[in-house]
Amino acid sequence: MIPAQSSLARIDLEIDDDSVYAQACSWHGTMVCTVPDPVVFAAGAWNAKIYGNPLPDAPTCNLNLSASHDFPGVRSGVGPCPRRSPAPLFSILLL
């Protein structure tokens, strides 16, 4: 008998910190591009507040499938004991 397990998860990853800023494109203190996030001028540069933005290249869905096989063994004269394979046979990650 080969026991199998599976799981499916929807992952909604976003930046959840109100104090995180990323430097926006500016040239000598002047904005040179359009930034959709609110911007503030601090430390000589324009910074965009990125709270609530999704993480780039993060997967949106995760599917895990695993199966293992029991191998009978012997425990010092006590009798057979099952041993599981050390790792899943396969795993799939969907982006």
pLDDT digits (tens, 9 = 90+) for 11-36: 878 888 888 888 888 888 788 888 88
pTM of the model: 0.47
Q: What is residue 23's three-state secondary structure?
A: strand
Contact 1, 69 (CB under 8 A): no
Spatial distance between the Cα atoms of 43 and 22, rounded to a whole number of angstroms: 12
pLDDT of residue 70: 61
pLDDT of residue 82: 55
Contact 55, 39 (CB under 8 A): no
Domain ranges of the chain: 1-12+57-95, 17-51
pLDDT digits (tens, 9 = 90+) for 39-76: 988 888 889 999 888 887 877 888 887 777 666 655 55
